[in-house]
């Protein structure tokens, strides 16, 4: 088997398992109130970490580039309560334009 | 599920274009078109696929590629736990439905909030899967004709999307605090740890901070 196919299988099986942890491993059980309250905090923490990663991470370095312009344009759209598709479009256009001129 | 389709429709072109850029990348990393498409259809987690084929393309081992991808996907354990209560039926059914969980389907369907709707998640996930796998096929076969997809600004678009999803979460001081801690931990760790660790550490920091109160 080639390395490419081995990689497809290893990553596929591993991801199947990670995605199943919650829905298969925990599902159906009634979680105690304090755990539910704790899980409420997980979503903002993960999303904030994703925002930082997607905006500033380039491998293992933090960089400021066209993506920050895209996020800025997205923020303007968010402040004006634009629908999500407009936020995404504003982000793409602003990033593309910033990349073109820099 | 129809509501999920509607929510995901605006993201379809962006997800397809990202899929195409993965298809192009996979070919340059010596995956054939079939392997690239099978990977998108099974793994269905963009950043980890990009990381894995980049490691292979740079001459890394299968083990190194697997570890890089698993670190990036480690967040799906806590993400899955936040929505686990809504999954019903046989383990096999839950296992299959769990594969439609990706960052976007989870967050757009209200994952981790009381208004989470599993059917919306499945609708969004199914639509993004079609876009991602279809895009991969186009990229893997048409490769060079597409050119440099970074010119489309998709990376900035997804950063803006996550910003919007985060903004919708910031309903009270506790959640704002969790976001600030999560973002700060990620920013501090990015230079020092492999990709993926900062996100899982951000989750861990909030969990530990909450329990120590």
Per-residue pLDDT reduced to its tens digit, B181-197: 999 999 999 999 988 88
A20 within some domain: yes
Per-residue pLDDT reduced to its tens digit, A33-47: 777 778 788 889 988
A70 within some domain: no
Cβ of B190 and A31 within 8 Å? no
The pTM of this model reads 0.84
Q: Nearest chain A residue to B171 by CA: give it.
A: A44
Give, in order, the Cα–Cα distances in Å from A43 to each of A15, B10, B116, B154. 20, 23, 12, 23
Whether the predicted pLDDT of A93 surpasses 90: yes
pLDDT score recorded for residue B119: 95
Q: Are A49 and B186 in contact (CB under 8 A)?
A: yes
Cβ of B85 and A31 within 8 Å? yes
A68 within some domain: no
How far is the first Cα of chain A from the last one, in angstroms, to the nearest whole number?
Answer: 44
Task: Single out the residue of B12, B41, B109 nearest to residue A85, CA to CA.
Answer: B12
Cβ of A49 and B98 within 8 Å? no
Per-residue pLDDT reduced to its tens digit, B8-35: 998 898 899 889 888 988 988 889 999 9
ipTM value, please give it: 0.89
- Which residues form the domain of A12? 1-30
- Residue B98: count other Cβ atoms within 10 Å of its Cβ: 25
A82 within some domain: no
d(CA B64, CA B62): 5
Res. B179 pLDDT band, cuts 50 70 90: very high
Task: Single out the residue of B199, B15, B141 nearest to residue A85, CA to CA.
Answer: B15
Task: Single out the residue of B159, B176, B181 nearest to residue A51, CA to CA.
Answer: B159
Q: How far is A25 from chain B (nearest CA, A)?
A: 8
A89 within some domain: no
Name the residue among A7, A44, A94 with its Cβ closest to that of B56: A7
A63 within some domain: no
- Assign A25 to helix, strand or coil: helix
Whether the predicted pLDDT of A28 surpasses 70: no
Res. A16 pLDDT band, cuts 50 70 90: very high
Average pLDDT of the segment spanning A23-40: 79
Q: Is B95 left (phi over 0), alpha (psi -120 to 50) or beta?
A: alpha
Average pLDDT of the segment spanning A49-57: 93
pLDDT score recorded for residue B49: 93
A18 within some domain: yes
- Residue B148: count other Cβ atoms within 10 Å of its Cβ: 9
A-chain CB neighbours of B48 within 8 Å are 11, 15
Per-residue pLDDT reduced to its tens digit, B88-106: 899 999 999 999 999 999 9
Contacts 24+ apart (CB under 8 A), A73-77: A73/B160, A74/B156, A74/B159, A74/B160, A74/B161, A74/B163, A74/B164, A75/B160, A75/B163, A77/B160, A77/B164
A40 within some domain: no
d(CA A30, CA B18): 38
- Domain total of chain A: 1
pLDDT score recorded for residue B213: 66
pLDDT score recorded for residue B143: 74
């Amino acid at each position: 088997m080639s390395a490419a196919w081995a990689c497809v299988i290893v990553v596929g099986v591993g991801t199947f398992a990670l995605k199943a942890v919650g829905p298969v491993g925990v599902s159906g059980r009634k979680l105690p109130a304090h755990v539910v309250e704790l899980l409420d905090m997980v979503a903002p923490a993960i999303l904030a970490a994703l925002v930082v990663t997607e905006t500033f991470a380039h491998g293992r370095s933090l960089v400021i580039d066209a993506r920050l312009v895209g996020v800025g344009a997205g923020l303007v759209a968010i402040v004006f309560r634009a629908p999500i598709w407009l936020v995404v479009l504003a982000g793409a256009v602003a990033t593309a334009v910033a990349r073109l001129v820099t | 599920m129809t509501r999920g389709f509607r929510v995901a429709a605006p993201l379809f072109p962006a997800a397809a274009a990202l899929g195409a850029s993965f298809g192009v990348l996979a070919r340059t990393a010596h995956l054939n078109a079939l392997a690239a498409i099978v990977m998108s259809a099974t793994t269905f987690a963009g950043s980890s696929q990009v990381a894995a084929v980049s490691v292979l393309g740079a001459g890394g081992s299968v083990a190194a590629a697997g570890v890089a991808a698993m670190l990036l996907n480690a967040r799906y354990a806590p993400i899955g736990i936040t929505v686990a209560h809504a999954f019903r039926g046989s383990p096999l059914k839950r296992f299959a439905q769990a594969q439609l969980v990706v960052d976007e389907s989870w967050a757009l369907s209200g994952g981790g909030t009381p208004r989470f709707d599993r059917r919306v998640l499945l609708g969004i996930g199914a639509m993004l899967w079609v876009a991602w796998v279809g895009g991969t096929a186009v990229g893997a076969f048409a490769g060079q004709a597409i050119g440099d997809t970074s010119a489309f600004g998709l990376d900035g678009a997804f950063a803006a999307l996550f910003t919007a999803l985060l903004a919708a979460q910031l309903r009270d001081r506790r959640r704002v605090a969790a976001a600030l801690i999560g973002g700060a931990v990620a920013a501090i760790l990015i230079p020092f740890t492999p990709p993926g660790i900062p996100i899982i550490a951000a989750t861990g920091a909030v969990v530990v901070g909450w329990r120590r109160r």
